[in-house]
Each structure stands twice: as C-alpha cells, then as structure tokens.
C-alpha cells in the first residue's frame, strides 16, 4: 500500500483587512484546486479566521496524520521563527499521532524578484522601453518591519538582489512599522542620493492595512514634494510564481531539504541590543477564533530547541 503524501498546511500572518484575509483564503483554495492529489488547508496565527488550529483540525478530520507546514511569509521573523513552531507543537498535543515537518519562508526567491520587477514595469508603463531607461528610476522597497534585526536584514537582501543586473539607479529600503527608516525617511534618502524618479514598491504578498498605509504615506510625501516624480507599485499578489514557490517549499519540507538561516537569529545569537532574546521561550499566539483548550502558553518550544532545529522535523 502506497503511503499518501503529507498534507500541505499554509500558515499566514493574519490581518484586520477583510480583503487581505480573503486573498489568503482564496490563495489556499487555488492551491487545493491545482493539487487535487494533496489535502490542502490554511490558517492564521492571529487576527483573522480561520485560526491555524482550525486548519489542522480540518486536515485531521480528513484522516491526515502527516503534514508539511509552509509559512506564507516573505521573511523569517517572530511568526515564522517562534509562533508557528509553537502552535504546531500545541496541535501535536491536541491531536496525538500526527507528525509534521516545517518549511521555510518564501523570500527572497528569484521568481518573486521577477514578479517585483514586473510590478515596477507595470507602474512605469510605457516610460521604460529599454534597460537604459531604468537608469533614471530609483526603487524604494518597503517591508513590513520587525523588532527582529535578522528579518529586517532579509528585506535589505531582497533589495540588493532586485537591484543586481536590472539597471535601476538604485534600490533603497524602508519599513512601514517597527523599524527605521520609515517611508517618508526612505523617500528623503532617495532624494538625497539624487533620485529623479522614484517607485515605491511594497514587499508584501497581498493587500492589507500595512500596504495601504505604505500607499497613503507615499501619497502624503509626494504631495509635499511636487518637484519629485513618485509612483506606487502593487503588492506581489497571487501570481503563478507564488503558487509554484509554495509547492517548492512544500517539497523541500517533505524531503527534509531545509536550509534555515540561524547565523543571525536573534534567539540564538547575542546581537547588540537584543541580548535578552537569546533562548527566549516561544509561545503560540492566542487566536480569538481558536476554541481549543491550551491558551496558557506552556506548550511552546524554546527557540533554540527543536522548533528551530535545522530539520524542523517532529
């Protein structure tokens, strides 16, 4: 008898934006349609339904005992490093007999960089006809922002990879929350570096409150600087490249072929100003839609323990 492949569990951030939450749910449904050979479910860590626990319960009700979890996130910050592994450990206690492997976040992957490049071309329209025309374009890549310096560094890495070989005048970085520079400061920096045309590019998968905040802050700055051409690009969106990349991360997890970056992880390495985070216990978020019984936070892993081991196998 052939052993069925592990199910695919998609873990999302969660958002207060109804359209953003529905974009995630629609994305999960599309993955299921594309891969009828796999049970597929998805849930959120916080803020929006369904909670991750409900998605796990849905798979268990289908008879699933093995699954691979993929974080639908661009960078490895607190959610991917701690909250999701802790939540998965909790679900293993709720559903004795299940096992799981845990995949890695999505970016910065070449296929997503290609989508970002396409978003830039779309907003520039017919004004960029040849690679040489890009020499007048400065890009401000805006990430979510985190209290985790490693996560913020990943956005800078994406910016550098986007700049390499594409001919833009430069690709600068800013953040919409929790980290500096903010969007207005990032735009100021672009101008100081001689930018004549700026495109603000949100480094987000789907629409939501934070990408909309990026657009509003960009429009506010542009109104105060009428002498600078500033445009706003769209989020990555549910592109075929994103659907394919999630399946690539799934296959990595199933094979155990994981290459998590632990060299600059704030929970393993004493980074300046963050020394108190080393070895900090990781606890699952309390999700208001999760009607399970373990909300006391005692079922999370220490980040330096099994939840963050290179294999992520349980």
Contact 111, 241 (CB under 8 A): yes
Q: With 50 as the cut, is the pLDDT of residue 304 above it?
A: no
Query: For the segment 113-154, what is each residue's pLDDT rounded down to a tens digit?
Result: 999 999 999 999 866 666 778 999 999 999 999 999 999 999
- C-alpha to C-alpha distance for 18 and 14, rounded to whole angstroms: 10
Q: With 90 as the cut, is the pLDDT of residue 12 above it?
A: yes
Contact 43, 284 (CB under 8 A): no
Identify which of 71, 67, 83 has the alpha carbon closest to the alpha carbon of residue 313.
Answer: 67
Strands laid side by side in the 7-12 sheet: 40-44, 7-12, 66-71, 99-102
**What confidence category does residue 275 fall into, taking pLDDT thresholds of 50, 70 and 90?**
confident
Q: Which residues pair with 7 in a beta bridge?
A: 67
- C-alpha to C-alpha distance for 8 and 41, rounded to whole angstroms: 7
* CATH of segment(s) 7-107+240-277: 3.40.50.1400
Long-range contacts of 153-159 (CB under 8 A, 24+ apart): 153/264, 154/74, 154/75, 154/76, 154/107, 154/108, 155/75, 155/203, 157/108, 158/74, 158/107, 158/108, 158/113, 158/116, 158/203
- C-alpha to C-alpha distance for 205 and 77, rounded to whole angstroms: 15
Q: Mean pLDDT across the stretch 34-63?
A: 94
- C-alpha to C-alpha distance for 204 and 115, rounded to whole angstroms: 11
* CATH of segment(s) 110-232: 3.40.50.1400
Location of each CATH 3.40.50.1400 domain in the chain: 7-107+240-277, 110-232
- C-alpha to C-alpha distance for 264 and 268, rounded to whole angstroms: 8
Output the pLDDT for position 298: 36
Burial (CB < 10 A; 0-12, 13-18, 19+), residue 193, is exposed
Q: Mean pLDDT across the stretch 154-183?
A: 96
Q: Mean pLDDT across the stretch 95-122?
A: 94
Output the pLDDT for position 172: 98
Output the pLDDT for position 311: 34
């Amino acid at each position: 008898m052939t052993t069925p492949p592990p199910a695919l569990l998609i873990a999302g951030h969660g958002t207060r934006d109804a359209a953003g939450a529905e974009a995630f749910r629609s994305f999960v449904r599309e993955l299921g349609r594309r891969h009828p050979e796999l049970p597929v479910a998805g849930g959120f860590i916080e803020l929006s339904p369904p909670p991750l626990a409900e998605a796990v319960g849905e798979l268990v009700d289908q008879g699933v005992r093995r699954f691979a979890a993929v974080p639908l996130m661009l960078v490895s910050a607190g959610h991917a490093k701690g909250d999701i592994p802790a939540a998965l450990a909790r679900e293993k206690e709720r559903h004795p007999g299940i096992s799981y492997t845990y995949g890695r976040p999505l970016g910065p992957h070449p296929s997503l960089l290609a989508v970002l490049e396409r978003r830039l071309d779309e907003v520039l329209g017919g004004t960029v006809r040849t690679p040489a025309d890009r020499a007048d374009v400065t890009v401000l890549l805006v990430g979510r922002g985190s209290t985790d310096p490693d996560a913020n560094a990943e956005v800078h890495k994406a910016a550098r990879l986007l700049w390499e070989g594409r001919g833009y005048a430069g690709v600068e970085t800013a953040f919409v929350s929790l980290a500096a520079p903010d969007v207005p400061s990032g735009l100021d920096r672009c101008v100081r570096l001689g930018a004549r045309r700026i495109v603000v590019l949100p480094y987000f998968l789907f629409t939501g409150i934070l990408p909309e905040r990026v657009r509003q802050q960009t429009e506010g700055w542009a109104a105060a600087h009428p002498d600078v051409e500033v445009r706003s690009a769209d989020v990555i969106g549910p592109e075929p490249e994103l659907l394919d990349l999630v399946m690539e991360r799934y296959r990595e997890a199933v094979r155990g072929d994981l290459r998590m970056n632990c060299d600059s992880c704030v929970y393993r390495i004493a980074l300046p100003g963050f020394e108190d985070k080393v070895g900090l216990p990781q606890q699952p978020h309390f999700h208001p839609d999760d009607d399970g019984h373990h909300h006391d936070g005692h079922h999370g892993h220490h980040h330096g323990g099994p939840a963050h081991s290179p294999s992520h196998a349980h």
